Amino acid sequence: MSVFDLKFVVIDFLTFAQDAGAPAGGGGAQPGAAEVNPLVQMAPMLIMFAILFYFIVMRPQQREAQKRKDILSALKKNDKVLTIGGIIGTIVDLSNDGQRITLRVDDGTRIKFTRSSIQGPYDEKAEPDSANGNSK
């Protein structure tokens, strides 16, 4: 759920809260009966949904982002990496600010990338057999 979608949910919620305060009927409530605001009845359910949203969506996303950040910050010279575009190369140079990486793709071929363009370390053992044409 993006911030844009969340904005519409909040607007709908506030509109509902305003409508709940106005009596719908012609004042037909009994004099001794206390009216319960529907917003108060829905509050525990809304809080529960917010907590579930955090633990199901936000928390795993934060963990994944932190894991990726740790992997990218641990890259060093002579590491074999895979870019998000599918290029496999060896790191030959890291810039002083740490944001640009130069990869050696082939003898005499060097390409510069930003650190965020690196998917992660490349493990030749993890490559599936179907990539070599040996599918069963």
In Å, what is the CA distance from 120 to each residue of 23, 61, 84, 103, 107? 60, 17, 9, 13, 22
Whether residues 15 and 41 fall in one domain:
yes
pLDDT at 94 over 80: yes
Please give the helix or strand (H or E) that residue 129 lies within, else none.
Answer: none
Provide the b/e sequence for 30-48 (b: ≥16 CB within 10 Å): eeeeeeeeeeeeeeeeeee
Task: Judge contact between 122 and 87, C-beta under 8 A.
Answer: no
Whether residues 88 and 121 fall in one domain:
yes
Overall number of domains in the chain: 2
Q: What average pLDDT does range 74-85 have in this prediction?
A: 92
pLDDT at 20 over 60: no
pLDDT band at 39 (very low <50, low <70, confident <90, very high): confident
Whether residues 118 and 63 fall in one domain:
no
Whether residues 49 and 65 fall in one domain:
yes
Whether residues 9 and 37 fall in one domain:
yes
Whether residues 115 and 96 fall in one domain:
yes
Lowest mean pLDDT among 72-76, 89-93, 131-135: 131-135
pTM of the model: 0.55
pLDDT band at 97 (very low <50, low <70, confident <90, very high): confident
pLDDT at 88 over 60: yes
User: Percent of the chain, pLDDT > 90?
Assistant: 45
> What sign has the CA pseudo-torsion 42, 44, 49, 50?
positive
Average pLDDT along the chain:
81
Whether residues 56 and 100 fall in one domain:
no
pLDDT at 129 over 70: no
Q: What is the structure's pLDDT at 100?
A: 92
Whether residues 54 and 12 fall in one domain:
yes
Residue numbers of the domain that contains 55: 3-22+32-73
Is 18 a domain residue? yes
